[in-house]
C-alpha cells in the first residue's frame, strides 16, 4: 500500500532547525479516532523516528470493535491508519478485537497482539496476533485454540515472536499465565501455561541476557495477600528457572503492569496497589535484582502505574492515571524518590495512561485514552519535553513517595501445555481523524517563502525532483526527523534532482532558502 499523502509545500520549522543539543524539542497533545470511540493501549518508537500506536476502534469497521493501528511521524501527524477484524458477517459490537501490544519487527513491519471475543462466532478460541508489513498491510493473522488474551509480545534475538498473556480452558487454574513462541509465520514452536489453582495473568515480557524470558503480572493463587505481583523467569525453552511473588497481607490488588530491565542487570516494575492501599497512594514502583531479590519498593499518590522506563540520569519515569484528573507522568530518582509529577487532560476525568517511551530529544511520549463525555472517547497521544511540559492542558501533581514493605515468596509454579495458533481471515478498513489540541517546538519558526516548492515522487526510492516557481540561486538543505543536517546543495535552475539512494528509510525535510524567504517540504524515503 502506498502512502496517500499530500506533500504540497508547507511550513515545517519543527524538524528543520536545530537546538543547542542538535535536536528540535517537539511537544504536542493530539487525539485520534472517530465519533464512535477509540483508545491506544500501546506505542513504540519506529526506525524512521516516528511512532506506531495500537488500540481499538468502534468507528472504522463498526459497530464491531476492530484493532486500531496508527503510524505517525515524529510530530504525531498521521501517515496511515489500519483497522483489522475478522470477516464475520455479524455486526454485533461484542464480536470484535483490540490491540494490547504492538512492536516493530526486524523487517520494519509490525506485530500486534490483543484480545478477540470470537472468531466468526463459531470457532472456540481467543486472542489475535497480526503481522503487518511496513505500510500496514496484513501479512497473516492468527488466533489461539484456547480462550487466550495476549497482552505482551516481543521479537527475540533469533527473530521468533514471544507472546504472553493469560488464558482459560487450559492450565492448573481458572486462568493461567501463558507464554508462546511463534516462528516468523506465526506458527507455534512451543506454548506453556504458568500458575496455580486460582488466577494468574502476564502483562509484560522481556528476553533476558541468557536467552530466556521474564514475565510479570499478578497471581491470586500464591503470595501474601488476595493478589500479589507475580514474576516468572524461564530459560529459552520455557522451563521455569524461578518464580516470585511480591505483596502484603492486605486485600489490595497488586498488578505488575510495567517491566523493564535496568542498567545494572536488574529490573524495575510498576503497577497498581489497588483497593486497600495506603490512603490515596495506588501507584507502585519496585526494584529487583537479576534473580528477583527485592531491592526497594515504593508507593505514590495516583491511581495506577502502567508503564515504566529508566531515564538517562539513572532514575525512572512512570505513566498511569489519576482518577478524575488525567494521564499521569511521574519522575523519580534512582532509588524511587519522587522528583516531579504531572497530569495531562482537561481535568474532566476518565483519562487512562497506558504507554511510555523516552524520545530521542530527551522528552517523553505517552498516552492512552481521553474521555470528553461518557459517549465520546478518543485515543490520546502526548509528547513532552524533558520536564514533562506538553504545551497545554497539563498541571503539576503533588505525588509523594512512601516505602511499602513487601513480603516475597518463591512459589511452586505449575507448568502446562498451552494453545496453538490458527490462521483467521481478516477484514481491513482505514480512517479516523487527528485533532491537534496543541503543538509547539523550542525553536523559532522560519519565514514563509513567496513561491511554491514541491517534491516528487513522494515517497521516494532513489532520487527526487524539487520544483521551484522560477530560476534563481537557492540553498537546499536536507534534515532527518531529529533536526540533524544530512546534506546541502545549491541550485540555480527551476528544478533540482536530489539523490536519495544513500538515505535510510524514514521521514526527511528539505529546507529551501533564497532571497524571497525559506520554505520546508517533508518527504518519505522508502
Residue pLDDT, tens place only, 60-84: 987 778 999 999 988 898 989 999 9
pTM above 0.85, yes or no: no
Residue 383 backbone phi and psi in degrees, to 5: -125, 125
- Over residues 183-205, the mean pLDDT reads 97
CA distances from 470 to 319, 450, 514 (A): 51, 11, 11
Tell me the C-alpha distance between 224 and 356, whole Å. Answer: 30
In 3D, which of 455, 468, 451 has the Cα closest to residue 498? 455
The answer, yes or no, to whether residue 8 has pLDDT greater than 50, is no
What residues have CB less than 8 Å from 373, skipping those under 6 apart?
none
pLDDT in tens, 207-221: 999 999 999 999 999
Instruction: Please give the pLDDT value at position 166.
Output: 94
Tell me: the pLDDT tens digits for 268-299? 999 988 654 444 678 999 999 999 999 999 99
DSSP-derived secondary structure letter, 186? S
Task: Identify which has the larger pLDDT, 442 or 57.
Answer: 57
Delimit the domains of the chain by residue range. 1-24+444-526, 249-403
Topology annotation, domain 1-24+444-526:
Immunoglobulin-like (2.60.40)
- C-alpha span between 9 and 3 (Å, rounded): 17
- Measure CA of the first residue to CA of the last residue in the chain; give whole Å: 12
Q: Which pLDDT score, from 0 to 100, does residue 76 have?
A: 92
**Structural contact between residues 494 and 35, judged by C-beta atoms closer than 8 angstroms:** no
CA distance 522 to 512: 11
Amino acid at each position: 500500500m502506498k502512502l496517500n499523502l499530500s506533500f504540497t509545500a508547507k511550513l515545517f520549522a519543527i524538524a528543520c532547525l536545530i537546538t543547542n543539543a542538535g535536536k528540535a524539542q517537539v511537544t504536542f497533545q493530539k487525539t485520534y479516532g472517530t465519533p464512535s470511540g477509540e483508545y491506544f493501549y500501546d506505542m513504540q518508537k519506529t526506525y524512521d523516528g516516528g511512532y506506531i500506536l495500537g488500540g481499538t476502534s468502534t468507528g472504522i469497521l463498526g459497530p464491531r470493535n476492530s484493532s486500531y493501528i496508527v503510524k505517525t511521524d515524529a510530530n504525531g501527524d498521521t501517515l496511515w491508519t489500519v483497522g483489522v477484524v475478522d470477516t464475520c458477517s455479524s455486526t454485533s459490537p461484542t464480536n470484535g478485537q483490540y490491540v494490547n501490544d504492538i512492536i516493530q519487527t526486524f523487517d520494519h513491519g509490525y506485530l500486534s497482539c490483543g484480545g478477540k471475543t470470537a472468531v466468526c462466532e463459531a470457532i472456540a478460541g481467543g486472542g489475535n496476533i497480526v503481522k503487518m508489513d511496513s505500510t500496514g498491510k496484513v501479512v497473516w493473522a492468527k488466533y489461539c485454540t484456547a480462550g487466550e488474551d495476549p497482552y505482551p509480545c516481543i521479537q527475540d534475538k533469533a527473530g521468533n515472536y514471544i507472546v504472553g498473556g493469560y488464558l482459560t480452558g487450559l492450565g492448573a487454574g481458572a486462568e493461567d499465565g501463558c507464554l508462546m513462541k511463534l516462528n516468523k509465520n506465526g506458527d507455534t514452536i512451543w506454548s506453556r501455561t504458568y500458575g496455580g489453582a486460582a488466577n494468574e495473568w502476564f502483562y509484560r515480557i522481556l528476553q533476558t541476557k541468557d536467552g530466556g524470558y521474564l514475565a510479570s503480572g499478578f497471581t491470586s493463587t500464591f503470595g501474601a495477600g488476595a493478589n500479589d505481583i507475580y514474576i516468572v523467569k524461564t530459560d529459552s525453552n520455557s522451563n521455569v528457572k524461578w518464580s516470585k511473588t511480591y505483596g502484603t497481607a492486605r486485600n489490595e490488588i497488586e498488578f505488575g503492569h510495567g517491566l523493564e530491565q535496568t542498567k545494572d542487570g536488574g529490573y524495575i516494575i510498576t503497577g497498581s496497589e489497588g483497593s486497600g492501599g495506603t490512603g490515596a497512594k495506588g501507584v507502585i514502583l519496585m526494584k529487583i535484582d537479576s534473580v528477583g531479590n527485592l531491592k526497594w519498593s515504593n508507593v505514590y499518590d495516583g491511581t495506577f502505574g502502567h508503564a515504566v522506563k529508566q531515564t538517562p540520569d539513572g532514575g525512572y519515569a512512570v505513566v498511569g492515571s489519576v482518577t478524575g484528573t488525567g494521564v499521569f507522568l511521574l519522575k523519580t530518582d534512582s532509588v524511587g524518590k519522587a522528583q516531579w509529577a504531572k497530569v495531562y487532560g482537561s481535568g474532566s476525568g476518565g483519562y487512562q495512561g497506558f504507554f511510555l517511551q523516552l524520545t530521542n530529544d530527551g522528552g517523553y511520549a505517552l498516552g492512552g485514552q481521553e474521555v470528553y463525555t461518557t459517549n465520546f472517547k478518543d485515543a490520546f497521544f502526548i509528547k513532552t519535553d524533558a520536564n514533562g511540559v506538553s504545551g497545554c492542558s497539563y498541571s503539576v501533581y503533588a505525588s509523594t513517595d512512601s516505602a511499602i514493605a513487601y513480603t516475597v515468596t518463591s512459589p511452586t509454579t505449575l507448568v502446562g501445555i498451552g494453545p496453538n495458533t490458527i490462521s483467521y481471515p481478516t477484514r481491513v478498513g482505514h480512517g479516523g481523524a487527528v485533532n491537534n489540541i496543541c503543538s509547539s517546538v523550542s525553536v523559532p519558526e522560519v519565514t514563509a517563502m513567496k513561491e511554491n516548492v514541491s517534491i516528487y515522487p513522494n515517497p521516494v526510492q532513489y532520487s527526487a525532483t524539487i520544483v521551484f516557481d522560477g530560476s534563481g540561486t537557492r540553498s537546499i538543505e536536507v534534515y532527518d526527523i531529529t533536526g540533524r543536517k544530512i546534506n546541502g546543495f545549491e541550485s540555480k535552475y527551476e528544478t533540482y534532482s536530489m539523490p536519495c539512494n544513500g538515505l535510510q528509510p524514514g521521514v526527511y525535510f528539505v529546507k529551501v532558502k533564497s532571497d524571497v524567504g525559506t520554505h520546508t517540504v517533508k518527504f518519505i524515503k522508502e
